Amino acid sequence: MTNYLFPPHDPVSLPIIGQPERFPVRRIYCIGRNYADHVKEMGGDAARSEPIFFTKAAETIVQSGQDIPFPPNTSDLHYEVELVVAIGPDRSVFGFGVGIDLTRRDLQSAAKKKGGPWARAKNFNRSAPCSALTPADQVDVSKAHIVLRKNGDIVQHGALADMIWSVDEIIERLKQDMDLQAGDLIYTGTPAGVGPVNVGDELSGGIEGLQRITVRFI
The residues of the shown chain that bind Mn ion, judged by CB under 5 A, are 80, 101, 190
Least spacing, CB of residue 102 vs Mn ion, in Å? 9
Measured CA distances, 17 to 71, 138, 139 (Å): 30, 10, 11
- Contacts for 149-153 with beta carbons within 8 Å, 24 or more apart? 149/203, 149/204, 149/205, 149/206, 150/79, 150/195, 150/197, 150/201, 150/202, 150/203, 151/201, 151/202, 152/202
Q: Please say which residue, 101 or 184, places its beta carbon nearer to Mn ion.
A: 101
Closest CA to 31 of 118, 105, 106: 118
Q: Please say which residue, 82 or 132, places its beta carbon nearer to Mn ion.
A: 82
Q: Please say which residue, 46 or 182, places its beta carbon nearer to Mn ion.
A: 46
Least spacing, CB of residue 68 vs Mn ion, in Å? 17
Least spacing, CB of residue 20 vs Mn ion, in Å? 31
Least spacing, CB of residue 137 vs Mn ion, in Å? 27
Q: Please say which residue, 81 or 87, places its beta carbon nearer to Mn ion.
A: 81
Least spacing, CB of residue 90 vs Mn ion, in Å? 27
CA end-to-end span of the chain, whole Å? 43
Q: Please say which residue, 80 or 184, places its beta carbon nearer to Mn ion.
A: 80
Q: Please say which residue, 190 or 211, places its beta carbon nearer to Mn ion.
A: 190
Least spacing, CB of residue 1 vs Mn ion, in Å? 40
Cβ neighbors of 138 (< 8 A, separation 6 or more) are 17, 18, 209
Measured CA distances, 46 to 40, 168, 201 (Å): 6, 20, 31
Cα 82 to Cα 96: distance, rounded to the nearest angstrom: 10
Measured CA distances, 84 to 1, 74, 168, 207 (Å): 35, 25, 13, 10
